[in-house]
Amino acid sequence: MEYFIDKLILININKWNKINMHPCFNAEVQHKHSRIHLPVAAGCNISCKYCNIKYDCLHESRPGVTSDILTPEEALERYIIAKNKLENIKVVGIAGPGDPLHDFEKTIKTFELIRKQDGNILFCLSTNGLMLYEYADELLKSGISHITMTINAVDTKISSGIYKHINYQGNIIKGEEGAKILLEKQIKALKYLSSKNVLLKVNIVAIKGLNINHISEVVSFVKGYGAHITNIMPLIPASGSEFEGMPLISNREIKQIREKCAAIMPQMTHCKQCRADAAGLIGTDRSVELRKKHANDEFKDFNKDLMVAVATSDGEIIDRHFGQAEEFFIYKSTNNRFKLVEKRVVSRYCTGVENCNTDKNRLNEIIKILNDCDKVICLRIGTEPRNKLENSGIDILEMYDTVENALYDCVNNL
């Protein structure tokens, strides 16, 4: 009996240590522990109406996008580079841009190659859960300690409004029938992996008109099957997806839902909805430093002079949301080259969760300050400021990249 108690204590200590090391599972270490996402999984076995997997176009800052897809060998190379560049990497994650278990051979090979290099690194992955139970034992052998599963509903009628279909064992299954299979597989995976001491986070995408009033039920449900924490995230409507025009949920609404659900179980409140190739600390993505540079340093010939406003904190990386920028770097093209001509200070449009997107006068003032610009490049921008800028004749590019690469793309995609 004494041995049994000691063993339980040891398990709980090890489990708590693992929680402490992962910045997504423990907000207190988000500014101390780095992580890297390795984008080796391109395919997906579920068709979500809010998703549009892109990895060869604009370098957006949202889940499901990456600048490139890596082979397991390239992923190992990127990890080795990251170990030399980034401080205190604790976690290697695979989060797409598709589903890591749809491309399971690439996922498991990536973990195996990295494990040979580093016996202490934590492994995690983010999945829809359709194939998680089937591959659970192989993942456990790889030493995986953290898993994030997206469960947007536990009512199959609601789920069928979020997913077009699932692809299970080569069969396309639509509607509630597909949603029922998905939920059954998710439950089996939660039960089994929680019994194996794996830490489980459940992501829930909050979608107006669909699951917004169902979220607390999802949280209670997954808690009962062993989830450790849930992460309620606002829908980011992806261009080209079926939900492209869905209404947005405000930061205030997300905060209220999280506060309600915090009475049920712990909530992740520091999520930045990271890209599939994110690296570094949460909120300070340094994946740009690990990417390949453009092969050409020449801009193609173009006749039009351009003025471009860039939301950047340092002139190196595009790292500011439009609403959070306090200055814009203004670049002007001259003789097929861009030159920094000035910096324009603005009063930030979004001043916090409670006041974001409410000050119309401030937004109009920013547009006035940028009215001679042809384009604005920023990390992300809301629907209202985007529409107002475009109505003023200013094009928007959302991307996470170096300023140099962004200006190159700006010209060469004209």
**pLDDT computed for residue 56 by the predictor:** 37
Same domain, 363 and 261: no
**pLDDT computed for residue 135 by the predictor:** 96
**pLDDT computed for residue 351 by the predictor:** 57
Task: Quote the number of domains for the chain.
Answer: 2
391 three-state secondary structure? helix
**pLDDT computed for residue 13 by the predictor:** 42
- Per residue in 147-201, pLDDT tens? 999 999 999 999 999 998 999 988 999 999 999 999 999 999 999 999 998 999 9
Same domain, 58 and 181: yes
**pLDDT computed for residue 14 by the predictor:** 55
**Cβ neighbours for 343, distance < 8 A, ≥ 6 positions apart:** 327, 328, 329, 330
Q: What is the DSSP string of 298-322?
A: -PPP--S--EEEE--SSSSB----G
**pLDDT computed for residue 387 by the predictor:** 87
370 contacts 344 by C-beta, under 8 angstroms: yes
Residues of the chain with pLDDT under 50: 1-13, 55-61, 294-299, 352-355, 357
Q: Which domain holds residue 399?
A: 295-412
412 contacts 299 by C-beta, under 8 angstroms: yes
**pLDDT computed for residue 9 by the predictor:** 37
- Per residue in 339-396, pLDDT tens? 899 999 998 877 544 445 456 788 889 999 999 999 999 988 877 888 889 999 999 9
By C-alpha distance, which of 232, 254, 251 is closest to 358? Answer: 251
Domain boundary among 243, 270, 288: 288
**pLDDT computed for residue 61 by the predictor:** 45
**pLDDT computed for residue 302 by the predictor:** 52
Number of H helices, E strands in the chain: 11, 16
Long-range contacts of 348-353 (CB under 8 A, 24+ apart): 348/323, 348/324, 349/322, 349/323, 349/324, 349/385, 350/321, 350/323, 350/324, 353/251, 353/252, 353/255
How many C-beta neighbours within 10 Å does residue 213 have? 11
230 three-state secondary structure? strand
Domain boundary among 288, 317, 344: 288
Question: What CATH number does residue 380 fall under?
Answer: 3.30.420.130
Same domain, 20 and 160: yes
Strands annotated E in 187-336 = 199-206, 229-234, 279-281, 284-285, 307-310, 327-334
Same domain, 337 and 283: no
By C-alpha distance, which of 68, 40, 197, 67 is closest to 125? Answer: 40
**pLDDT computed for residue 204 by the predictor:** 94
By C-alpha distance, which of 26, 271, 282 is closest to 150? Answer: 271
Same domain, 95 and 237: yes
Question: What CATH number does residue 152 fall under?
Answer: 3.20.20.70
Residue linked to tokens 């409670």: 354
